[in-house]
Amino acid sequence: MTNPLYDQLFGRHRGSDRVFLHLPGGTSLSYGAFVTLAGRYGAALLEMGLEPGDRLATQTPKSPEALALIAACIQTGVVLLPLNTAYTPAELQYFIENSGARGVICAPQSQDALAPIAATQGAKLMHLGAHGDGSLADLANSCTPLEDVTPRAAEDLAAILYTSGTTGRSKGAMLSQANLLSNAQTLIDFWRFTERDVLLHALPIYHTHGLFVGTNITLLAGGSMIFLPKFDLDAVIAAMPQASTMMGVPTFYTRLLEDTRFTGDLAQHMRLFISGSAPLLAETHERFEARSGHRILERYGMTETNMNTSNPYDGERRAGTVGPALPGVEVKITDPESGAPLPKGEIGMVEVRGPNVFQGYWQMPEKTAEELRKDGFFITGDLGQLDKDDYLTIVGRGKDLIISGGFNIYPKEIELLLDEQPGVLESAVVGAPHPDFGESPVAVLVPEPGAQIDLEQIRAAMAETLARFKQPRRIEILPELPRNTMGKVQKAALRAQYTDSFTQNA
């Protein structure tokens, strides 16, 4: 038995002097050096006592070492649990406990806060900094690079990525080696990636977009990446003449359009701009083409599936749509109540099936059965429609999920916190259109009779407990929430009321 994901992404690059990562400051890292670095981190994982199938929760700054740690997990058969760097210790506790993580890797400044959580779980805690520093780096540097590769089957679990759930509890999407490898193999062909491509990589690597799409495609194609720690407008503009492709969220493209330095001349060497993780406004699509001469390629994916659809590389890229299904992937629109297929042009639930679709939710068999049909179709929770040419348009989301800057936000989590605050009788959180982030949460509070709500105190409580991207940018106070005759809060009415919350004139 081999380890197909490691063999295809990393093993074949052993000893190669081709550049894999172009780093800030003008330095670079070859494929061969990266595979050796990953081997050191693989040996460090074994020194930590981790075994194949054990879960490793990671919340570390983006760096070559953090990427090598991910490769080390694949090499040793350890199941990766990449976590958003914005999550607070209170949020991390759930992921660590729910996954049964045997190891936790965090940033140096987080170790004191996470130590008691890891100790309660019996997990080994180490840290890794943005510059390749920390206790894990020290351990890895003392190790002889691991050359052995743990055998894994295509259906073996490679990663668990947590996403939002209908009850407010995050769900761990189980992704196999085959899920990840099949999607990367499809995308390098569909998007025409080769070893000549240089990807401008400014995305995080704890999210499927920057990790399992951008990085895996580059590794499989044998190209290179300009590996920026984060999206910094000056750095992106400076690097663009050396790049051929870029993947980003809509915010990246609106930021570029705000800068006069971004011109057609600057982008003349670019082959492809790709956008995803949040809806791209048609206006942004059109302005970008007018400024640069490039039509952004928008696609549609999810944590549970990686990529499902894409506008074509050769062919019409239609603003406002996410294109037809990718090769090997099936997309259908169904009635949300009955599950019956709907004809083209009608709005319904988006369902997808293919080798990219996840195995189910970690330790949630009931939820898996609800959302993953026996015939393999996954009920995405997104509402959409297919046109006569099978281009998919996402028109909304069921279950009130908010996607802001590519990150999922479930309102119930915020509402539970708000309802606990002094003077708050009840609350509702909805998403409002945002020019940069696609959507941003708006909180509506109803005060207890005779009470005064202290908004600054509430903002402080949210800052302490919630990641910044989850914190509502606008908070309103109403005497009561709109309800139907059954007493259910009408969030559609609230969304309509606050739809202009983040426009320039609001």
| Token representation of residue 61 | 């700054």
Q: What is the rounded average pLDDT of the residues 132-157?
A: 97
The answer to whether the CB of 59 falls within 8 A of the CB of 107 is: yes
The answer to whether the CB of 292 falls within 8 A of the CB of 366 is: no
Residue of 201, 277, 284, 193 lying closest to 236 (CA atoms)? 201
SS3 call for 303: coil
Is residue 389 over pLDDT 80? yes
pLDDT mean across residues, the chain: 93
Is residue 505 over pLDDT 60? no
Per-residue model confidence (pLDDT) at position 34: 98
Which pLDDT band holds residue 396 (cuts at 50, 70, 90)?
low
Q: Which residue has the tokens 């074949």?
A: 12
How far apart CA 120 and CA 346 sit, in angstroms, is 51
How far apart CA 136 and CA 458 sit, in angstroms, is 37
Per-residue model confidence (pLDDT) at position 1: 67
232-276 per-position pLDDT tens digit:
999 999 999 999 999 998 889 989 999 999 999 999 999 999 998
Helices (H) and strands (E) in the chain, counts: 16, 24
How far apart CA 448 and CA 423 sit, in angstroms, is 5
Residue of 470, 466, 369 lying closest to 91 (CA atoms)? 466
Q: Sort strands 224-227 and 198-201 into parallel, antiparallel or unpaired.
A: parallel
What's the CATH superfamily of 402-497?
ANL, C-terminal domain (3.30.300.30)
How far apart CA 336 and CA 381 sit, in angstroms, is 9
How far apart CA 413 and CA 445 sit, in angstroms, is 15
Q: Sort strands 360-361 and 378-386 into parallel, antiparallel or unpaired.
A: unpaired
Q: Is 41 exposed, middle or buried (0-12, 13-18, 19+ CB in 10 A)?
A: buried
3-state DSSP of 316-383 = CCCCCCCCCECCCCEEEEECCCCCCECCCCCCEEEEEECCCCCCEECCCHHHHHHHECCCCCEEEEEE
* Percent above pLDDT 90 for the chain: 80
Which pLDDT band holds residue 140 (cuts at 50, 70, 90)?
very high
Per-residue model confidence (pLDDT) at position 166: 36
Is residue 401 over pLDDT 80? no
Least confident of 126-135, 161-170, 313-322: 161-170
59-105 per-position pLDDT tens digit:
999 999 999 999 999 999 999 999 999 899 988 999 999 999 999 99
Per-residue model confidence (pLDDT) at position 14: 96
Which pLDDT band holds residue 484 (cuts at 50, 70, 90)?
low
Collect all residues with Cβ–Cβ distance below 8 Å to 505 and sequence separation of at least 6: none
Neighbours of 135 (CB within 10 A): 16
Which pLDDT band holds residue 501 (cuts at 50, 70, 90)?
confident
How far apart CA 12 and CA 222 sit, in angstroms, is 10
Q: What is the rounded average pLDDT of the residues 387-405?
A: 84
Per-residue model confidence (pLDDT) at position 41: 98
Sign, Cα dihedral of 424, 427, 429, 432? negative
Which pLDDT band holds residue 407 (cuts at 50, 70, 90)?
confident
